[in-house]
Amino acid sequence: MAGELVFDEVTVRYGRPGRPTVTAVDRASFRVRPGEVVGLVGESGCGKSTLAKLACGLVPAAGGRATFDGTPITPYGLRKRPAQLLRLQMVFQNPYASLNPRRRVAAQLQDARAIHPATAPSVDDLLRSVGLDPALRTRYPHQFSGGQRQRIAIARAMATGPDLLIGDEPIASLDASLQAQVATLMRDVALASDTSLLFISHDLSVVRLIADRVVVMQAGRVVEEGPTEQVWSAPQEAYTQRLLAAIPLADGLGTIPDVAPA
């Protein structure tokens, strides 16, 4: 089984003209094993999205090594991407921006199917797998709601038959009542086709729902990682404890989480 993503002491820096460079990711190491669902959590600016971008070659690493099934991940250039790296697909945060507004859904899924190394599932099957009616294939993205678009984005990523699926805050722009649903769908779809999943979110309560293992990042570093239930019920690091304590509980008691300012 393939789909192993390894970050080994990876550092990413962003240069800003006229100002000091920012170290977004600071010697972060962790791996997503084949067939595993890993949740990557942390607050805004902790570097979790930068890691996702690094994994698909959208930003270069300033140090360390990132490999996918043994192939070093290189930044995008003018050449065609190595076929091996196409086995890694991404679902972005904003479903309104990640689909092409001028093309029908079926056409966009067809493009993705062309990358599949074997026989890709049909467009109808793809739509069905994410809980959409195949009859909707001729529609344009604007004719769908946010949740439906995110389902299409998932279907498109899955059409390529990926070994690893990365979701970068894929549920953040959805209604609360849809978040758990779409997250669970991503897990189910990935599991059904033996794809590993790296699920990035700031929402620990949703990550807990779907991840086998959780990696917690703070200020560019990995501060804690472990099996989901262990991190959830017995967090070791003060930072993780603080993150968990800040989650409001829907217990109807009117308790506002008490978190000391950082």
Partner 1 sequence: MSDADGLRISGLTLELRGQRILDGVDLVAPAGQVTGLAGESGSGKTLTGMTVLGLPPAGSVLGGSIEFRGTDLLTLSARQHNALRGEELAMVFQDPTASLHPMISIGGQLTDHVRHHLHLGRAQARARALEVLEQVRVPDPAQALRKYPHEFSGGQLQRIAIGIAIACRPSVLVADEPTTALDVTVQAGVMRLLRDLCDELGLTVLLITHDLAVMSALADTIVVMRHGRVVEHGPRYDVIRDPQHPYTRDLVEALPDHRPRPTGGRP
Residue 226 backbone phi and psi in degrees, to 5? 175, 175
- Closest separation in Å from C-beta 20 to partner 1: 15
Query: Can you tell me whether residue 8 is helix, strand or coil?
Result: strand
- Closest separation in Å from C-beta 78 to partner 1: 33
* 1 vs 83, beta carbon nearer partner 1: 1
* 36 vs 73, beta carbon nearer partner 1: 36
SS3 letters across 21-85: EEEEEEEEEEEECCCCEEEEECCCCCCHHHHHHHHCCCCCCCEEEEEECCEECCCCCCCCCCHHH
Residue 245 backbone phi and psi in degrees, to 5? -65, -25
- Is the four-CA dihedral 254, 259, 261, 262 of positive or negative sign? negative
- Closest separation in Å from C-beta 192 to partner 1: 9
Binding site for partner 1 (CB under 8 A): 35, 43-44, 145-146, 175-181, 184, 187-188, 191, 202-206, 208-210, 212, 242-243, 246-259, 261-262
- Closest separation in Å from C-beta 185 to partner 1: 10
* 123 vs 174, beta carbon nearer partner 1: 174
- Closest separation in Å from C-beta 54 to partner 1: 22
* 137 vs 199, beta carbon nearer partner 1: 199
* 118 vs 253, beta carbon nearer partner 1: 253
* 87 vs 208, beta carbon nearer partner 1: 208
Q: Could you please report the per-residue DSSP string of 99-112?
A: S-TTS-HHHHHHHH
What's 171's DSSP letter? Answer: T
Alpha-carbon distance 140 to 102, whole Å?
Answer: 7
- Closest separation in Å from C-beta 146 to partner 1: 7
Alpha-carbon distance 146 to 144, whole Å?
Answer: 7
